[in-house]
Chain A
Amino acid sequence: MIPPTATPAATRITRPPGALVIEIEGVTKLYKMGAETIHALRGVSLKIHRNEYLAIMGPSGSGKSTLMNMLGCLDTPTAGRYEFNRKNVATMGDDELADIRNREIGFVFQTFNLLPRSDALHNVELPLIYAGLGKSGRLDKARRALENVGLGQRMGHKPNELSGGQRQRVAIARALVNDPSIILADEPTGNLDSKTGEEIMALFEQLYAQGNTIIVVTHEEDIARHARRIVRLRDGLIESDKPVE
């Protein structure tokens, strides 16, 4: 069940934006390194709606990952306002943030970040364990998520028995399994060759078509072109924010 490798252009659909999911305003992030202060973000404002497919671009060190971690509730801004589903993140406790990451956000990392000793199925099951789902429901959903990314035959494989592309598919299935509001992928193709990268982007295209909201960080124009909207960062500021023609 390998997903279609047809050219994205042929199947490209664009859905109208839905409800507001993320709204940040004037967000800054400072890192103190001894006497020196690093401004990773200098005041970023952004609105992201359901059904959007967004690419964040920019040179190395421009603050892409910092912004992404902020959007994913892994990190908190030094200043500025962040509302997720119209709720102020700054007022949330640790457990509430964990629950948002668990239910509302699906992370995909450049380095896959799979648990090395667990097989694909268990890796995908993990967010459901944290969600407190029963065993049979968990296995059911995890299997369906793996089938959806074309890995129905590889469920019992450990990460080291899978190719890079397959590992990233497992990671994507894991991000999807809890039906999150939004999928955040930080350089998901950064550790893959260009052909495998294209396959992963085709998978994102399919997921977008299925109704998911996606944000991808990349510094490759080819990858960014798959999105419907591109936000460019430079030195911690938004340089441009345009839809893709």
Chain B
Amino acid sequence: MRGRFIFSVLWPACLIVAALTGAAWLVGWLVKADPWLVSLCGGTALASFAAALLFGICDYGWGVFWPELTESLAISAAQVAANKLRSALTALGVIIGIVAVTLMGTAILGIDAGVERSLSGFGDDVLYVSKWPWRNVQDWWNFRNRRDIRIDYVEPVTAAIAERPEGPLKLAVPSVYWSANVIRGEYRVSNVSILGTSSELPYLVKSDMKEGRFFTEVEARGGRNVVVIGYDIADALFPNESPLDKTIRIRSQQYTVVGVAARQGSFLGMFSWDSVVIMPVDAFTRSFPIRWADPTIRVQVDMARLDEAKEELRSIMRRVRGLGPEQKDDFEINSQQVIRDQIDPIKANIAIGGFFITGLALFVGAIGIMNITSVSVKERTKEIGTRKALGARRRTILLQFLIEAVSICVLGGVGGLALAWGLSAAVGALLPSFPLVFSAALVVLGLAISVVTGVLSGFMPALQASKLDPVVALRYE
């Protein structure tokens, strides 16, 4: 089997297929393409890489491949050690490329994680009926003129839900927001989001209590001055004690703390339960102008029937608002998808920018590697002649110079990964709210990119070396 021509064509072909599908996998993974396609690409990349290895070894024969591999590694280690500065400069392009791709990966993974964490606090399966759409609108005056949403719409919506228990709508809860200072004795937190809602909010949100409880229906109906506070608020106002049953002041009112929400973490100023104070709507109305408090009806739905749920909620709202068949909706049904839709282009931009920088840096690096390999081939022309006289086959010479190119790239890749790791650790220390995710997949990715860059850039000079006429090479001075 050794030395069959077909193998010497198959393994580079497989390697190229692996590189292309690998790149496709990466792009697909980052922009969240169809997961079936993404895993198809990833699988193909892995399989063809394995096939390339297999065919490569068939091509050489294992008994020849292994000693030649170790020999080539030793040679390239010696080459790199003998030309430290040259190797380091050449590796620089690869280092920059790997830093760019890993930082891009960390950023995108981080944004994903942060957004998911923030959004999951709301509850995934909730629709929001409000006056304003969450997307950016140009014709804002058309929305401003809409009638206000009133929180007592909760009652007709709840009644409609009760009429059709098998329907896609499950639970309706009101919410109003205001921003105010929260004070307890010497301690004070400014601009806290005050949320007014019903006792049923806990069924909607994915947030546990750290201690205490949520306020009860009785407390809510009575409009009692009770609050549940977020983790950060509790921490700021009650640094060394439990806040339970203590009072805090908001505007002129005193409120009793009945519960503290578990810590959620925050992300780039997005909403987080950690810095919220929650109270019954009727308590809220005593201090704040409810009309201006973005009154919203939150409706929990069956996610499997989302479209149906939207349609049903819309018709209920049209009925509640008394709209005629010819009139347009004068309310908005929002969902978290809007927020995700706004984040996706940001991620895509980071990905495009990252790929551009990576591609550019790797291109420069690849040219450097190509050059250094050419120089190395020139310098050692006589050695190549000697090796051929001693029985080195073409592919042996090819492998030797390829390994040299790949070694430098991998060296650059490892350097780049270390640098990227350090940078993301530093960013993580300076901006703890930005959740950087430096994953093992990124390390594998970085190394794979280095290897592929090495193979692609070293191939031409290595091929030239392997094709040298032994007599010409031996005569070379």
- Residues on A close to B: CB < 8 A? 69, 72, 74-75, 94-95, 98-99, 101-103, 107, 109, 113, 115, 117, 126-127, 129-135, 138, 174, 178
Contact = CB atoms under 8 A, between A and B. Distances in A.
A130 B393 contact: yes
Contacts of B78: 117
Interface in B386-406: 386-394, 396
B387 A126 contact: yes
B68 A101 contact: no
A138 B71 CA distance: 13
A91 B71 CA distance: 31
B63 A132 contact: yes
B386 A113 contact: yes
Size bracket of the B interface: 20 to 34
A130 B389 contact: no
B471 interface: yes
Given A117-B78, A117-B82, A132-B67, A72 B389 contact: yes
A99 B391 contact: yes
Contacts of B392: 98, 102, 130
A75 B396 CA distance: 19
Main secondary structure of the interface of B (DSSP, over half): helix
Nearest to A116: B383
B391 A101 contact: yes
Contacts of A133: 63, 67
A107 B389 contact: yes
A52 to B, nearest CB: 21
Most interface-central of B383, B390, B474 (chain A CB within 10 A): B390
B470 interface: yes
A225 to B, nearest CB: 27
Contact of B390 (A94, A117, A127): A127
B470 A130 contact: no
A35 to B, nearest CB: 21
Nearest to A112: B386
Nearest to B393: A98
A95 B471 contact: no
A130 B396 contact: yes
A70 to B, nearest CB: 9
B382 A113 contact: yes
B202 interface: no
A129 B388 contact: no
A133 B64 CA distance: 7
B3 interface: yes
Contacts of A69: 471, 474
Contacts of B389: 72, 74, 101, 107, 109, 113
Contact of A107 (B75, B390, B396): B390
B391 A95 contact: no
A126 B390 contact: yes
Contact of A174 (B61, B82, B390, B393): B390
10 contacts: A69-B471, A74-B470, A95-B393, A98-B391, A109-B386, A113-B385, A126-B387, A126-B390, A130-B392, A133-B67
A95 B3 contact: yes
A95 B5 CA distance: 10
A182 to B, nearest CB: 13
A95 B388 CA distance: 10
Residue among B64, B391, B396, B474 with max Cβ neighbours from chain A (10 Å): B391
Contacts of B63: 132-134
Interface in B1-55: 3
Contacts of B394: 94-95, 98
Contact of B71 (A72, A117, A129, A134): A129
Report, nearest first, the 3 A-B pairs whose CB atoms are least far apart: A102-B391, A132-B63, A132-B64
A124 B93 CA distance: 38
Contacts of A132: 61, 63-64, 67
Contact of A74 (B382, B388, B396): B388
Contacts of A103: 391
